[in-house]
Amino acid sequence: MGLKLIAAGWTDSGRERENNEDTIFHLVVQDATGEPLGLFIVCDGVGGQLAGDQASQMAVAAIRDSLRDLFAPPDEFQTQPLEILHTPFLNPRVPPASDTRPMNRAMPGDSLRQRVVAAAQIGNLSVFGLTRHKPEEAGNAGTTLTMALVRGSHAIVANVGDSRTYLIRDGHLQRVTKDHSLIEGLIDSGNVKPEERFTHPARNVILRSLGRDTKVDVDIFEESLRQGDILLLCSDGLWEMVRDPDEIAALARRAATPLQACRDLISAANAAGGSDNISVIVVRIE
């Protein structure tokens, strides 16, 4: 029997901010061969009140739409639109965590990788267009991106900025992605100690985001998943608050469902201060 993906996502404004600039999306279907196919996206808007929320929503919508043909025949889109989740209380028509609609067509891994890169570039262009055509509204708005396209046991992860994708395997939290931030570079170069990540004056400087130019460098990672693994995608509002990797892994593993895991992780981030918006997607491989 093949693997099964069970996924859920949740987003919260945190304890100190009224506006939620995070946007997430998650969808699981079954492809034509019977394998699970999942798309998971977390975007964290940057730019403060200058349209950061618009940037993250536009990026998620553009990425989702660019990959729609993988999940259902085109004629189904007229009656079954895929929707993003920005704030769960205001968008009750979020796609279910899993679905059984057949994928339109199967694709080899290399083609899926190319589609992920192209989707990220399309998301970048959508935000770039916002900042160039409505500068008085958008200002310096942009968004981070972490996303995973999973087919069967093969996961393709794309990352721009400091939102993260983790793999939890055998109870241990492994970071799949690498932050595009000034503090990450300073730690890598040995100029800053890892324990200074959360206190250094440059800790919030992002070096790469969607919307800055017509093209963006996208990091791509590939993972071979196995039964019992958990993929966890999140904005920095989680990992900057819940700093113990063992605590993150335990909360994701112990919850009865992926949705409860998301809520428990967000509760832990809020209990630790909740200084930023917090978004989490949990994907269990069974």
SS3 label, residue 254: helix
Domains of the chain plus CATH, in order, are 5-178+208-285 (3.60.40.10)
Mean pLDDT of the chain: 86
- The CA distance from 92 to 11, in Å, is 13
- State residue 46's pLDDT score: 86
Q: What is the mean pLDDT of residues 198-209?
A: 87
Task: List, for residues 47-69, the tens digit of each pLDDT value.
Answer: 755 678 889 999 999 999 999 98
Give the residue among 247, 230, 274 at the shortest CA–CA distance from 16. Answer: 274
- The residue written with tokens 């992926």 in the block is 258
- State residue 36's pLDDT score: 94
- The CA distance from 115 to 286, in Å, is 26
Q: What is the mean pLDDT of residues 7-33?
A: 93
Task: List, for residues 81-102, the tens digit of each pLDDT value.
Answer: 445 555 433 332 333 333 434 4
More confident residue, 200 or 269: 269
Q: Residue 147 pLDDT > 90, yes or no?
A: yes
- State residue 194's pLDDT score: 85
Q: What is the mean pLDDT of residues 251-261?
A: 98
Report in angstroms the alpha-carbon separations of 242 from 116, 236, 279: 29, 10, 13
Q: Residue 7 pLDDT > 80, yes or no?
A: yes
- State residue 91's pLDDT score: 33
